[in-house]
Structures are given as C-alpha cells and as structure tokens.
C-alpha cells in the first residue's frame, strides 16, 4: 500500500490523522448533537492548508495534487464525515470550478480566500426535478442591461449558508437550441452568485438523518441580478463542465467513504479487544473476528479502487469508469462496515456519542450524493457497451 504513496503523501496523511484524532474527534459528538457548524475546526484546517491542497501557489494553494487532497479526506472521514464533506465540497464543488473555468479576474477575486479556508463556496446544481438529469433544470438566467437575472430554486446545496460562505455557482437555463430531430435542447450555463446578493435567498438548513454538522440548504433566486461578467466558463457549457468536476469528485467521495469504512474497522477492533464476555475478549470469538476481517477487506478494496482512479487522473489517462467504480465500492463499504461495527458494539453502537453510531447515520448518503449507486452502475455498464 505505501508503495503507492510518496514520502510527502505519507507525511501528510500522518499529519492529518493526528489533527483528526486530537482536534476533530473530541468535538464531533457535540457538533453532531447540536447540528452546529464547526467553525473553529474549519479555521484550523484552513491554517493547515487543507483547502488549498490541490491548487497552484499562484492563488494561495499548496501546489499539491489530487491524491494528497483525497488522503486528507480519508483521514478526516475516519472520525467525522461532516467535517470531511465540508472539505470535499469546499474544494471539489466550491473552488475547483472557479479554478478550472474561471477568468483570471474571477480567480484573483475569489480563490485566495477560498483556498485559505477563510471562505467557502457552494455549487447549485440540484433541483427538485434536476440533478443527474440536466434536462430537468428549471432555474433560468436572462441577460438584461448587462446583468444576468436569475429565477428559480435549488435543493441540497452544501456550504451554501454558513457565515463564511462567499458565493454559490448556479446552473441555469440561458437559452434553447433546436435539435436535428426538431426538438428543443436547453442551453445550461453556470453563473457566480455572491452571498448577500439581493434576490438570492438561503432557506433554513435541512433536518438531516446524518452529516448533521455540515451545512446544507435549499436556495431560491427571485429577480436576482449579478453582472454579466459573473458567467463561469463558456455560455452553454455549464452542465458539461460540471460533469468533468463530478468525475474528479467521485474519487474524493470514494476517499471519504474509504475513511468512514476504515474508521469503523479501527473502532471495532479497539472495542472488540477490550470488551469481555464470559471471561474472554469478544475478539476471540470467530463470529466477531471474522466480521471485522470482512470489514477490513472492504476498506482495503475501497482504498485500492480510489488510489487507482486517482493515479489514472494524475497521469492524464481516462478515469471516468474507475472513478465510478471507486465511488460505488467505497460507498457500499462504508454502509456495510457501519452496520457491522454497530453490531459489534451492541447497545453502545446505538448511542449517538459513539462514532460508529454516527457513521451508521452518515454513511447512507454516500450511496446517494454526487451520483447515486444506480448512476455509478449505469456509467460502468455504459463503459461495457451495455447501456
């Protein structure tokens, strides 16, 4: 395993692991119970440079690579998925679109604060009838006297309503074109909407099953005006650009899922070797030890899958299918390991102050968010020429 990592990668993972155990873990149960956003933790992560890991030093990044970012996510997710998804979305959905498709002026305006962790950004794609299906996008943006005027709503937008959120990039229909078959195709573009813009409203946070310390809101735009220069990337390429971002994001989500799966293993081993029944540690019973052995196997397979996808990406080779497989494997590993770890813990696994209980609630979304399990299966099947 370590042969796949450089000395720098291993040192980073160890540093983040120490931070996660010493700083994040002690306050995780509190923030989860209170549904409060861990501003003090995010601030320290910013000071460590975690939000700038895969970005150039030109705009304040750490000049690292995407694998380094994924390693940080894995270590954090072992103890707190809410904090991990805040980092993943802040980098992958917040900063990365601006870094990839923004003008120099947009990068200079927004990236320094985002890469330092002083500010966060969200990506407004999902709607009640749109997400994986771009044709369902109903939010519109029209040009009027040099402004884009947005109308519509978004759902489930991460990092969109914190006190340090600086912007949301929103996909919107900016026109239509006729298809060769005589139909109409929506032109979807992406537009930067700064926080506090008149007509941009952030709804109350959702009462979620898990990820309770992460920030997730519905959004609405009513006669919301931003300058024409706030178009992000080429007009009509908003959804296509997002798909590219999403392919990379699936590797990051796979790293997060791997961390959750491994966290369940680590905690189950610690508990099973200390918990005694009938005069013996429960780890001495095959029913328990074999269960944990299977958990470790799942975590190992998930790690190999996301390492492979990340190495393909860094080598400039196609990685879409491998990213989908990594996300599928890791999401299922996290959910399966959370269930088994809860069983190992018995009654304590049903108490929210224990990390395995939070993993049990948190992990389900890994089979839904950033592309459901069914979407991953569709992509994999398509790569085999079957769909």
Number of residues in the chain: 387
Distance CA 110, CA 9 (A): 27
Cα torsion for 183, 187, 188, 192, to the nearest 10°? Answer: -160
Core vs surface per residue 47-68: b (16+ CB within 10 A) or e: ebbbbbbbbeeebbbbebbbbb
From 74, 88, 322, 370, active-site residue: 370
Nearest CA to 230 among 52, 91, 110?
A: 110
- Count the helices and strands in the chain (H runs, E runs): 12, 10
Asked about 75 being catalytic, the answer comes back as no
Cα distance between residue 177 and residue 189, in whole Å: 13
Strands in the chain per DSSP E: 120-124, 140-144, 147-158, 165-178, 184-194, 200-202, 216-227, 231-232, 276-277, 280-281
Can you tell me the distance from the alpha carbon of 201 to that of 222, in angstroms, rounded to the nearest whole number?
A: 8
Distance of alpha carbon 265 from alpha carbon 259, whole angstroms: 10
Kindly list the catalytic residues: 370
């Amino acid at each position: 395993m370590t042969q796949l990592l450089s000395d720098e990668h291993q040192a980073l993972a160890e540093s983040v692991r120490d931070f996660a155990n010493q700083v994040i873990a002690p306050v995780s149960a509190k923030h989860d119970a209170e549904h409060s956003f861990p501003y003090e933790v995010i601030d320290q992560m910013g000071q460590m440079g975690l939000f700038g890991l895969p970005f150039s030093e030109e705009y304040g990044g750490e000049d690292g690579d995407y694998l380094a970012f994924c390693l940080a996510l894995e270590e954090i997710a072992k103890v707190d998925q809410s904090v991990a998804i805040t980092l993943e979305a802040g980098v992958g959905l917040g900063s990365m679109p601006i870094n990839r498709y923004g003008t120099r002026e947009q990068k200079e305006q927004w990236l320094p604060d985002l890469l330092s962790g002083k500010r966060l950004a969200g990506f407004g794609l999902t709607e009640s009838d749109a997400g994986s299906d771009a044709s369902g996008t109903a939010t519109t943006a029209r040009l009027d006297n040099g402004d884009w005027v947005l109308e519509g709503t978004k759902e489930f937008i991460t990092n969109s309503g914190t006190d340090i959120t600086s912007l949301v990039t929103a996909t919107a229909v900016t026109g239509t074109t006729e298809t060769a078959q005589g139909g109409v195709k929506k032109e979807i573009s992406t537009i930067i909407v700064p926080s506090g813009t008149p007509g941009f409203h952030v709804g109350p946070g959702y009462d979620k099953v898990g990820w309770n310390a992460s920030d997730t809101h519905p959004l609405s735009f009513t006669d919301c005006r931003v300058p024409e220069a706030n178009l992000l990337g080429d007009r009509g390429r908003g959804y296509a650009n997002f798909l590219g971002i999403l392919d990379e994001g699936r590797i990051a989500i796979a790293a997060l899922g791997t961390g959750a799966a491994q966290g369940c293993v680590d905690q189950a081993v610690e508990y099973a070797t200390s918990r005694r029944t009938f005069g013996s540690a429960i780890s001495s019973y095959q029913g328990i030890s074999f269960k944990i052995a299977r958990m470790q196997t799942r975590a190992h397979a998930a790690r190999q899958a996301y390492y492979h996808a990340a190495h393909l990406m860094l080598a400039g080779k196609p990685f879409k299918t491998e990213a989908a497989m990594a996300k599928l494997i890791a999401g299922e590993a996290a959910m399966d390991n959370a269930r088994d770890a809860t069983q190992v813990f018995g009654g304590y696994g049903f108490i929210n102050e224990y990390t395995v209980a939070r993993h049990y609630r948190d992990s389900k979304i890994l089979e839904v968010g950033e592309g459901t399990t069914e979407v991953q299966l569709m992509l994999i099947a398509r790569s085999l020429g079957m769909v």
